[in-house]
Structure 1
Amino acid sequence: MLNRRTVLSGGAAVVAVALGLGSTSVEAKGLRFGFSQVTLQSPFYVQLRDGAAAAAAADGDELIFLDANGDVTKQNNDIQDLITQKVDVLIINPANADAVIPSLEAAEAAGIPVVTVDRSVKEKFAAHVGRDNKTMGRLVGEAVVAALTAAGKSGAKIIEIQGDAGGAVMMDRRDGFHAAIEGSGNTIVEGPYAEYVRANAVTAMQDLLQANSDVAVVYAHNDDMALGALQVLKEAGRDDVVVAGVDGLSEALEGMASGGNYVATSLNDPKYLGDVTIQVARALKAGEAVPKFVDAGTAAVTKANVGDFKRDGLFAEYRPEILGQ
């Protein structure tokens, strides 16, 4: 097991050691990384960008960042632009895994290695940096079942507010959660896609609550949407409904610590993802061997252990010991 708790101040070297990389991967200067991001409409993705930008600047490299704003066509155009600019490494968080393949083929033809982050693709990439989103959904589902059991509730109705239609993260967080709920006697009502945006979840929850007055739990594919749902429930006086999400947003942890109705999340420190992604990109450019999947790990947070995690920033900090190769 290798420790990756230190980031930025000496963090580049720590990450390189954790990945089993040589020193040349952290000594490169003046590299140009192109980062095509699916959206900035979620605080998670803002923090992911900021973590990558800080890590690039820390070692004197440049990050060229382009926001696709959820538009696959724009993302493909952005990627082509980055290829034309002859970036050293292309970093992609894809809006749609299949739709970006032609652009990845173009990057391959140009000799530019591709690193995907958070959302993966099936082919044409050198390395993926992320977390196991099925595990994240499963951990939250198990915590929800435990909370219902502790409250003496059975046959509960669970409303699920989903991320983005067709997204790999959405499907994994859905499937992991469903696997945990299966056989528990509780029922899931699949709600609309709210694109990981709190305002969208507020609108969705207003309609869902009218149609499902017997709801006992709301599970959202990220904490931002779950907090939007919680806002609607509070305004409706529904303090009998508990809420769970994913990503470890500090606001969600504060809700748990204060004894409110937020019962579970799973950790997904985005700044750390951005930092590790830049270290992987440097390693690839230096010709180092890099694991195909760099898993940054996750953990469930509930009312029982919420005090164990630092939450000074927008997201709770989580930099665990992980395997190298």
Structure 2
Amino acid sequence: MKRKGFLAILTAMAMIGSMGVCVYAADDAASTEDVLADYTGKADYKIGFSQCTLASPFYVTMKEVAEDYAKQLGVDFVCVSADDDVTKQNNDINDMISSGIDALILNPINAEGVAPAIEACQKADIPVITVDRNVNDGNTAYVGRDNEEMGRLVGEALVEELGGKDKAEGKILEIQGTAGDTVMMARRDGFEAAIAEAPGLEVIQSAYCDYTRSKAVTATQDLLQSNDGIVAVYGHNDDMSLGAAQVLEEKGIEGVKVTGVDGLMEAVMAIQDGKYSITTMNDPGSLLKVAMNTTLKVLNGEDYDEFVDAGTGVIDSSNVADYVDDSLAFAAMK
């Protein structure tokens, strides 16, 4: 659904109490050059970015790209990490409101925990653009990817690598992200739906590892002590899957197919080396640029989309050569 300006959103929200997020707009993902041409030196705004954590390369890249892009645009930009602490995230956002931000870009720790801060933004007439992870209610627009589709794509590709629906058998270790996180749940649900099509496969879930490699190492060690017949690992991001791969290598366990999500270049290069099987793309840099573009559209009263899907795709041994680039932290969408 297209919207015209932030004041229109406030009026609609007052009338209906909530706002649906339903429209896919791939054209917004390609508008960076136009935005630079239109707004560089002219965007006299202060934009805050509340990042859920900086404990993963994905989130660090989001922050770095956002800061660089804001500098190019001439936007006053402030980024604060919540360090996976919901209370801190709410406090950080309130501090940014007090500092005079015109808009907030938000990557929430979970869908419900930042409701108080979003309500405070609404009272201050500050638009909230969620990125990567979404919230249940109160945001102006959402820039992300179909995380359920990412999980499904990995699951389907893995089933084929294991011999197909009728022949695949064994246990899959699923290394989980953050409890209550919409991204975690979507990547879990999409993957498990695909695996359910192969009756010989069983998914064993780990404790929540918050998308961090060190926690995934511990979780994998624990799971291997109580499970045999492991044929694959699926992590809700590549960083955790690489931690699991490290454990498998240390224990001398061979033949396990390691898969994940995000297109982390370390994982892509591991695919090239035959040490990793599958990932799906989730370029964090493009996410933040599109989020910034959408924010500027909102602030300038222009038409914008309530949901921008930045797209994804599978990387495996058949196409990995197209994506290897050691100058990048994550594989770039093509």
**Could you say whether these structures have the same fold, taking a TM-score greater than 0.5 normalized by the shorter chain as the test?**
yes
Is the Cα–Cα contact under 8 Å of residues 133 and 169 in structure 1 kept in the other structure? Answer: yes
Structure 2 equivalent of residue 301 of structure 1: 315
1:12 to 35, 38, 49: 35
What aligned pairs does 1:248-259 form with structure 2 within 5 A after superposition?
A: 248-259=263-274
State whether structure 2 residue 148 is matched by structure 1 residue 125: no
1:149 match: secondary structure:
coil
Is the Cα–Cα contact under 8 Å of residues 223 and 244 in structure 1 kept in the other structure? Answer: yes
Aligned pairs, number: 307
Is the Cα–Cα contact under 8 Å of residues 53 and 63 in structure 1 kept in the other structure? Answer: yes
What aligned pairs does 1:212-291 form with structure 2 within 5 A after superposition?
A: 212-260=227-275, 262-291=276-305
Is the Cα–Cα contact under 8 Å of residues 29 and 286 in structure 2 kept in the other structure? Answer: no
Deviation at 1:105, TM superposition (A): 1.0
Structure 1 equivalent of residue 76 of structure 2: 62
Structure 1 equivalent of residue 114 of structure 2: 100
Deviation at 1:213, TM superposition (A): 2.3
- Distance in 2 (alpha carbons) for counterparts of 1:86 and 1:234: 51
2:59 to 13, 30, 45: 45
Structure 1 equivalent of residue 176 of structure 2: 162
TM-score (norm 1): 0.90
CA, structure 1 residues 4+168, in 2 after alignment: closer, same or farther (shift >3 Å)? closer
- Distance in 2 (alpha carbons) for counterparts of 1:113 and 1:280: 11
Higher mean alpha-carbon deviation, 282-291 vs 151-160, is at 151-160
Deviation at 1:93, TM superposition (A): 0.5
- Distance in 2 (alpha carbons) for counterparts of 1:2 and 1:286: 18
TM-score (norm 2): 0.87
- Distance in 2 (alpha carbons) for counterparts of 1:126 and 1:3: 16
Higher mean alpha-carbon deviation, 143-152 vs 65-74, is at 143-152
Is the Cα–Cα contact under 8 Å of residues 52 and 277 in structure 1 kept in the other structure? Answer: no
- Distance in 1 (alpha carbons) for counterparts of 2:137 and 2:54: 25
- Distance in 1 (alpha carbons) for counterparts of 2:30 and 2:244: 33
1:174 to 188, 199, 213: 188
Structure 2 gaps, min length 5: 1-25
Deviation at 1:309, TM superposition (A): 1.9
Q: Percent identity?
A: 46
Higher mean alpha-carbon deviation, 207-216 vs 140-149, is at 207-216
State whether structure 2 residue 220 is matched by structure 1 residue 197: no
2:95 to 81, 98, 123: 81
1:256 match: secondary structure:
helix
Deviation at 1:153, TM superposition (A): 5.5
Is the Cα–Cα contact under 8 Å of residues 162 and 192 in structure 1 kept in the other structure? Answer: yes
1:148 to 162, 165, 170: 162
Deviation at 1:125, TM superposition (A): 0.9
Deviation at 1:155, TM superposition (A): 1.9
Deviation at 1:205, TM superposition (A): 0.8
Offset from partner CA, 1:236-291 (integer Å, 9 cap, x none): 1111211100000011111111122x110100000111111111111111011210
